[in-house]
Structure formats: C-alpha cells, structure tokens
Amino acid sequence: MAKIPGPPALEGLKRRIARHRQERADGGKSNFVRETFCLTRNEARAKAREWFDAFPKAAYWTEVESWRQLEGDRIEFTMRRLPTAD
C-alpha cells in the first residue's frame, strides 16, 4: 500500500523541525546564553528575579525559556539571555 503524503503545510513543518533538530545536534550556533536550574518554587522565583535585575529584558532579551513543575514543589527552568546588551 502506498503512503499518502500529508498536507503541504505539515510537510513544511516537518522539514523545519528536522532542520532545527539537526542544527542543534550539530552544535548549531545560538546567540543566546542559557542556564538551567532546579530549585524550590521560592528559590526559582528569586533566581529568575536575579537574572531580570542583572540582565534587563529590554537590553538582553532575558526570558524564562521553559519550565516545568517537579515533585516536591521543585521547579526546573531554563533562563535565556543575549550575551551582551549591544
């Protein structure tokens, strides 16, 4: 039985995802500095605030890139920012 191709938009998305994964696997160059933490909820808030105070969002594009709640009220999160403010 022949495989039926998906919709064109879906095929384009699949190609973009594959390209992104390949770039990351090959050590794709990112302009962002990232750091991942695993802290209690209150410590996580304090650490995020520390990053936003040290690296203002307007200059460094600082943001919480991803986060998830773990057992025991712990939060694993990744902070992201540009290396310089120029």
pTM, 2 dp: 0.65
pLDDT at 2 over 90: no
In this predicted model, what pLDDT tens digit does every residue of 17-46 receive, in sequence order?
Answer: 777 667 665 565 678 999 999 999 999 999
User: Three-state SS string across 14-44, please?
Assistant: HHHHHHHHHHHHCCCCCCCEEEEEEEEHHHH
In this predicted model, what pLDDT tens digit does every residue of 41-70 receive, in sequence order?
Answer: 999 999 999 999 999 999 999 999 999 999
Q: Does 4 reside within a domain? A: no
CATH number of the domain to which 61 belongs = 3.30.30
The pLDDT score that the predictor gives to residue 16 is 76
Q: Does 43 reside within a domain? A: yes
Q: Chain centroid to CA 14: how far?
A: 19
Q: Does 59 reside within a domain? A: yes
Mean pLDDT to the nearest integer, 5-15? 70
The count of structural domains within the chain is 1
The pLDDT score that the predictor gives to residue 46 is 98
Q: Does 77 reside within a domain? A: yes
**What's the mean per-residue pLDDT of the chain?**
85
Structural domain including 74 reads: 32-86
